[in-house]
């Protein structure tokens, strides 16, 4: 009886493989055509801004604590009335992600209480210099004012 169950499990598992092998192949025209991402693709992180252009990150360190690869480094600083960086009391003065260690698990995105960090659609991380895989806050921060999407006025 156990042998029958094993064979049934193997047939069920290999059916996915054979269905994929016999299906139509898809070819991307990269770099001549834009890349088509799945909706839940996890690319290079983006530090978001609110509707007033202030940074959403309040320097709470929850993303760094949730990161299993320990690749996020944050230094927080206090906001002042003269210099307001975020809507909260604090902001991330330094926010670094070491992509040589990042496993794109998404735990940092899930842990963020202000939705300050999200996954973008950036995917070109290949480099010959490992030091260029350390992304700083300026590289991760969403540009302000936001760029208009193609085809909008």
Residue 114: the pLDDT is: 95
Instruction: Say whether pLDDT at 147 is over 80.
Output: no
3-7, long-range: CB within 8 Å, 24+ apart, which pairs? none
Residue 111: the pLDDT is: 97
Domain count, the chain: 1
How much is the average pLDDT of 9-35?
A: 88
How much is the average pLDDT of 9-16?
A: 91
- The model's confidence at residue 35, banded by pLDDT at 50, 70 and 90, is confident
- Position 8 in a domain: no
Question: What average pLDDT does the structure give for the chain?
Answer: 91
Three-point CA angle 89, 91, 95, nearest 5°: 160
Residue range of the domain that includes 92: 45-140
What CATH number should be reported for the domain holding residue 98?
3.30.70.3270
Instruction: Say whether pLDDT at 77 is over 80.
Output: yes
Residue 141 DSSP symbol: B
Token digits of residue 61: 């360190």
Token digits of residue 9: 């499990």
φ, ψ dihedrals at 11, nearest 5°: -60, -45
């Amino acid at each position: 009886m156990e042998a029958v169950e094993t064979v049934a499990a193997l047939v069920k598992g290999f059916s996915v493989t054979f269905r994929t092998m016999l299906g139509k192949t898809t070819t991307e025209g990269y770099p001549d055509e834009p890349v088509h991402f799945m909706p839940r693709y996890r690319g290079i992180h983006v530090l978001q801004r609110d509707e007033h252009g202030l940074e959403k990150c309040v320097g709470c360190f929850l993303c760094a604590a949730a990161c299993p690869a320990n690749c996020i480094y944050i230094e927080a600083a206090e906001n002042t009335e003269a210099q307001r960086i975020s809507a909260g009391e604090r902001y991330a003065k330094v926010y670094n992600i070491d992509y040589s260690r990042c496993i794109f698990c998404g735990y940092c995105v899930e842990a963020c209480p202000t939705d300050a960090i999200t996954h973008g659609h950036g995917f070109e991380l290949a480099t010959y210099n490992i030091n260029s895989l350390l992304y700083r806050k300026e590289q991760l921060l969403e540009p302000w004012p936001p760029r208009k999407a193609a085809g909008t006025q």
